[in-house]
Amino acid sequence: MSSDTGISGMLGRFWKKIVNHFEDYEINREALLNRLSLLIILAAGIMIRLFSLMKGYDPLIKAFDPYVQLVSAEYISENGFIAFIHWFKNNSWYPYGFHTGRELYWGVPVSAVIIKGLLGIFSIDVTIIQVAYFSPVFYGFFTILASYFLGKEAVSNRTGLFTAFFMAFVPAFVSRSTAGFFDNESVGILFTVLTLYFFIRAIKRGGTISSFLAGVSLALLIGSWGAYRYVLDLLPLAAFFLVLTRKLTFKLIKAYTITIVTALMIGFLVPRVMINKFYNIEVMIPILMIGFLVLVGIVQNLSRSLSEKTFKQVIIIGSITVLFLLAILITVFLSLGMFTNIAAKFWAVILPGNRSGIPIISSVSEHQPMTWAELFNSIHIMMFLIPLGLYYCIKKPTDVNIIILTLGVTTIYFSGSMVRLVLLLSPAASLLSALAIDKLLYTYSLSAHGKIALTKRKLRITKSIGRDEAIVAYSVIFGLLITFTFQSVKLAEQYSMSEMAPVIYGEIGTPSSDWQEALLWLRNNAQGQGIVANSAPVVMSWWDYGYWITNYGNATSLVDNATTNKTQIGMVGTMLMWNFTESVKLMYKYNVKYVLVNTQAGIPGLGSDLGKALWCIKIAESTVPRYGMTEEAFYGLNEAKTQFQYLEPFYSSVLYRLSAYDQATGFAFPDTPGTGSPISDYPGLLVDAAQNPVYDLKGPDGITYFSEVFRSYGLARGPADSRYFPLVRIYEVIYPEDIEQLSAEVNNNYPVPEKTED
């Protein structure tokens, strides 16, 4: 039998076909390099977000707000989604409580439960805490990938790669997508990028599916992050500019209409969004833009089909009709309060000059206007590339470039108005910077490879560009990108630390456990019977620590980071800044049994309550003025009229005395600290008792109504300093026997105000 007809012959022919196939197959080196570069960028983006694990830090949830997201995810996992919608927390905002399922954006906790369920399908058993810790890295990974497709769709493959690179390393986004930052921003930026990608794709290609996916992405953003307002109003603004530049097409009308209708139909299923009301101006603007686009489209068609005379008559009659309807709409909107129900924080972004009159917003460092140093730390070299990217968009005003231009200019304005909104600038800055580098290097690339068609015009432009110039240009850009990468890695170490376990004095590897100690103490001791019968004991603190107290310490708090009741925050500020005798009368009204103060070893620069005292005063003055709290009473010029300083009422306040008092010495920090004590390196407010001899805290009225029940280990460096320099202290309130009568008197003189929403 011939060898060509048997099994060996058949296998031989099969193998020959395989060999011939690969001999004829030409590998696309550009595509291969593109994929390889993207994989490297994605891997680097994951690594920088897992920096905390690489440094050996405990895998703790970071910041304050993520703890309410974590507890919500655990509740959904254990009790189901329907129970979560109706979940009412009694231990938040005492005595009002907090409807978590109705007042929280669902995106983050629900996504964590979904991820846990998907992993369970593949028999990967994880806890919600583990998912919460790693999910920001997961969101960051897909945001980088989505950024690549956004840049690719908007400009080119090269722009996509550079966009992905910048999103992988930009510090503003890394800080919100690092492991442990389980909060709205991490998932919000992902849906923002996806919305822009699908919307641009829909405008370019006219696809119904892309328009629908843009709407779904925007709907998920609406249900996940309060900054959805920006994207929801960015799209109509971009559409309006497209109309002004005579770029209105059927593709734009179709893409915009499907996107907005889909987003609002799905997004308004979330109760937190419904609270803002459908007829709010920020929702009505994108809806009215649909009518505007249709109207302009009709006018365009009429201009082609009607005679000039008839067209003018139609325009006159139509304009009068539209103006009449517009007047009716404005009247209706005013009666519904559309122009007054925008939250104060959003007005503060749009009109930053009015922010000084809203202390609850100004008190947060992330709500301050952007400084040059903060902008450089947040986006680094991109601040120099953004103007070039804007220039290229203006130079060639295509549909997509106008959208990018609108995105860039608006995010620059808003991030300059409020520091935290530099996060919104991140994808815009990455896209503009990528566009700038792509356009800048494109000519050099063609010249270096001899691919420029030397027409007379191009010869005049590129006659000085040769291979050497191209190498120099590539080297400069490469050097800038390397610098950008090192800056991001340097800041990644800072972002990897948890606020619950801060690393003091730069001692890497020795995070403080003071907050964990304090919250565990509350979990074990702040339970049972409160001051009022049949109620839990209430822990009073400044609002910054409310989420930690309720969700980690499992105790009852008066205020928390949701800041939903400005009046109650002002009441807490009043109780902290009043003197002992008056303050306990109000504390009794609120069932306060414990007072927690963040002393930070007397170093205001570390974020202690003493450093926030001025905001306690300002917020109390603006929200509950009836209690007589004024900034001038606590803070003014010294006798020599040379500098501002705290005045006597400050040193008599509950906050100061609880921070400074020590049963043995009169001050928490004695005149001669133990050998090697760290406090000597930080001459803070409380270090030297001799500086304030008038305020003897051991006097009969010094601390009569309070007893210290907990102080954290603090900044001690040895047994001699043990607990001399605590970061957190907890006091129990010891009410006088006639407190009911005293409390009734103060309530008659100063009625407790009603709850006011933010």
477 lies in the same domain as 592: no
Q: How many domains does the chain have?
A: 2
Question: pLDDT grade, residue 81 (50/70/90)?
Answer: very high
Domain boundary residue among 462, 492, 522?
A: 492
Instruction: Please tell me the distance from the alpha carbon of residue 98 to that of residue 103, in angstroms, as a whole number.
Output: 8
539 in Cβ contact with 547 (< 8 Å): no
Q: DSSP letter for 558, please.
A: S
Looking at the fold, whether 721 and 600 belong to one and the same domain comes out as yes
Closest to 178 (Cα-Cα) out of 72, 38, 54, 77: 54
What residues form DSSP beta bridges with 598?
A: 728
Q: Of 635, 653, 634, which Cα lies nearest the Cα of 697?
A: 653
Q: Are residues 610 and 674 in the same domain?
A: yes
Structure tokens given for 291: 């009518």
For residue 127, tell me if it sits in a domain: no
Residues 692 and 744 in one domain: yes
Q: E-strand spans in 621-700?
A: 635-637, 644-646
Contact predicate 574/563, CB 8 Å: no
Confidence band, pLDDT 50/70/90 cuts, at residue 372: confident
The predicted model gives 446-462 an average pLDDT of 53
Residues 448/401, Cβ–Cβ less than 8 Å: no
- Does residue 743 form part of some domain? yes
> Which of 430, 461, 492 represents a domain boundary (last residue)?
492
Q: What local confidence, expressed as pLDDT, does residue 532 receive?
A: 78
Q: How far apart are CA 35 and CA 446, in angstroms?
A: 22
pLDDT at site 700: 36
538-549 pLDDT, tens per residue? 999 999 999 999
Alpha-carbon distance of 288 to 298, in angstroms, equals 15
Give the pLDDT confidence score for residue 228 in this predicted structure: 92
For residue range 164-192, list pLDDT tens digits in order: 999 999 999 999 999 999 999 989 999 99
Interatomic CA distance for residues 700 and 556, integer angstroms? 31
Higher pLDDT pick, 559 / 317: 559
Distance, CA of 334 to CA of 337 (rounded, Å)? 5
Task: Establish if 70 belongs to a structural domain.
Answer: no
Residue 547 lies in a domain: yes
In this prediction, residues 465-488 reach a mean pLDDT of 80
Mapped onto helix, strand or coil, the DSSP state of residue 436 is: helix
Least confident among 20-24, 43-47, 470-474, 496-500? 20-24
Average pLDDT score over residue span 719-740: 80
User: In residues, how long is the chain?
Assistant: 758
Contact between 108 and 132 under an 8 Å Cβ cutoff? The reply is: no
pLDDT tens by residue, 689-715: 333 333 334 333 457 788 889 988 877
Same domain, 435 and 532: no
pLDDT above 70: percentage of residues in the chain: 78
Specify whether 417 is located in the same domain as 557: no
Q: Is residue 593 part of a domain?
A: yes
**Rounded Cα distance, 358 and 350, in Å:** 14
Confidence of residue 683 (pLDDT cuts 50, 70, 90): very low
| Residue reference for tokens 């306040």 | 653
Give the C-alpha separation, 475 to 479, whole Å: 6
Between CA 303 and CA 318 the distance in angstroms is 13
Q: Are 267 and 223 in contact (CB under 8 A)?
A: yes
- For the domain that residue 649 is a member of, what is the CATH number? 3.40.50.12610
- In this prediction, residues 188-212 reach a mean pLDDT of 94
Between the ranges 390-404, 671-685, 688-702, where is the mean pLDDT highest? 390-404
Please tell me whether residues 530 and 629 are part of one structural domain.
yes
Return the pLDDT at 357: 64
Residue 448 has pLDDT above 90, yes or no: no
Asked if residue 592 is part of any domain, the answer here is yes
Rounded to an integer, the average pLDDT of 714-737 is 77
Which of 155, 158, 119 lies closest to 135 in space, CA to CA? 119
Whether 176 maps to a domain, the answer reads no
What is the structure's pLDDT at 748?
61
Asked if residue 625 lies in contact with residue 751, where contact means CB atoms within 8 angstroms, the answer is no
Looking at per-residue pLDDT, the higher value among 378 and 669 belongs to 378
Q: Summarize the confidence of residues 486-495 as an average pLDDT.
A: 85
pLDDT score recorded for residue 701: 44
To the question of pTM greater than 0.75 for the whole model, the response is: yes
What is the band of 159 on the pLDDT scale with cuts at 50, 70, 90? very high
For 10-67, the pLDDT digits (tens) are 666 766 666 665 555 555 677 888 899 999 999 999 999 998 888 777 788 888 889 9
Of 428, 457, 492, the one marking the end of a domain is 492
Is residue 642 in some structural domain? Answer: yes
- On the 0-12 / 13-18 / 19+ scale of CB atoms within 10 A, 594 is buried
Check if the beta carbon of residue 568 is closer than 8 Å to that of residue 626: no
Higher pLDDT: 242 or 341? It is 242
Per-residue confidence (pLDDT) for residue 21, from 0 to 100: 57
Per residue in 247-281, pLDDT (tens digit) is 888 999 999 999 999 999 998 888 888 776 666 77
What is the pLDDT confidence band of residue 344, given thresholds at 50, 70 and 90?
Answer: low
Q: 324 is written with which tokens?
A: 């009449």
* Structure tokens belonging to residue 605: 């620069």
What average pLDDT is seen over the chain? 81
Judged against a pLDDT cut of 90, whether residue 575 lies above it is answered with yes
The answer to whether residues 675 and 596 belong to one domain is yes
Dihedrals phi, psi of 503, to nearest 5 degrees = -100, 110
- Tokens 């409390």 correspond to what residue? 743
Please determine, for residue 475, whether its predicted confidence score (pLDDT) is greater than 90. no
Residue with tokens 């309410």: 68
| 3-state helix vs strand vs coil in the chain, percent to 5 | 65, 5, 30
Alpha carbon 555 to its chain centroid, in Å, reads 26
Centre a 10 Å sphere on the Cβ of residue 393 and count the other Cβ atoms it contains. 24
75-84, 619-628, 638-647: the lowest-pLDDT one: 638-647
* Model pLDDT, residue 7: 65
Paired strand residues for 708: 731
Highest mean pLDDT among 300-304, 520-524, 753-757: 520-524
Tell me the C-alpha distance between 180 and 492, whole Å: 13
* 522 and 487 assigned to the same domain: no
Q: What is the DSSP letter of 60?
A: P
Q: Are residues 480 and 557 in the same domain?
A: no
In sequence order, what are the beta bridge partners of 730?
596, 710
d(CA 224, CA 488): 27
Residues 459 and 523 placed together within one structural domain of the fold: no
In the three-class reduction of DSSP (H, G, I as helix; E, B as strand; rest coil), residue 502 is classed as coil
Per-residue confidence (pLDDT) for residue 539, from 0 to 100: 95
Torsion of CA 749, 752, 754, 758, to 10 degrees: 120
Distance CA 676, CA 391 (A): 58
Range of the domain at 622: 514-749
- Residues 632 and 737 occupy one common structural domain: yes
